[in-house]
Amino acid sequence: MVFITTKLLLSAQQWARALKRDVHAIWLAAHDPRTPCVVKILALVVTAYAVSPIDLIPDFIPVLGYLDDLVIVPLGILIVVRLIPSRVMEEHRKAADKAIARPVSRLAAGVIIATWVACAALLVRLFM
């Protein structure tokens, strides 16, 4: 039983590392001229949300709070990885493996905060 749990934990850790690497590789590919323009925009949006320090759906909301972390972000990454030319993606995965610093999106955090403030303002206005 302990062996199965340890193996599952190692598998989850490998998946998480690969996901982090792919986020960085997508960010690099979004700045590559070989990546199509529409894919660049989608890659920047997915990457900005993935590295944003603030979630659109806060984690304290039961079930839905972890939905974006467990489903939406990995699904967005998977879609973008498939849209980026494979040669470009492999090149940027290697570069992401060698990189020390990872990107952080303060702009995405600002957009999410602005969205929550706008929703709160609409609710206040609705109830007043």
Per-residue H/E/C for 37-97: HHHHHHHHHHHHHHHCCCCCCCCCCCCHHHHHHHHHHHHHHHHHHHHCCHHHHHHHHHHHH
Average pLDDT across the chain, whole number: 82
User: Can you give the pLDDT at residue 86?
Assistant: 92
Task: Work out the pLDDT band at 42, boundaries 50, 70, 90.
Answer: very high
User: Can you give the pLDDT at residue 10?
Assistant: 62
Q: Please tell me the distance from the alpha carbon of residue 35 to that of residue 88, in angstroms, as a whole number.
A: 8
User: Can you give the pLDDT at residue 105?
Assistant: 67
The string of pLDDT tens digits covering residues 13-34 is 788 788 888 998 999 999 999 9
Q: Please tell me the distance from the alpha carbon of residue 128 to that of residue 123, in angstroms, as a whole number.
A: 9
**52, 44 contact by CB (below 8 A):** no
The CA distances from residue 26 to 6, 7, 110, 122, in Å, are 30, 28, 21, 35
Mean predicted confidence (pLDDT) in 62-68: 76
User: Can you give the pLDDT at residue 92?
Assistant: 92
What does the block give as tokens for 4?
């199965």
User: Can you give the pLDDT at residue 7?
Assistant: 64
**10, 23 contact by CB (below 8 A):** no
Whether the full predicted model's pTM is greater than 0.75, yes or no, is no
The string of pLDDT tens digits covering residues 96-108 is 888 766 666 677 6
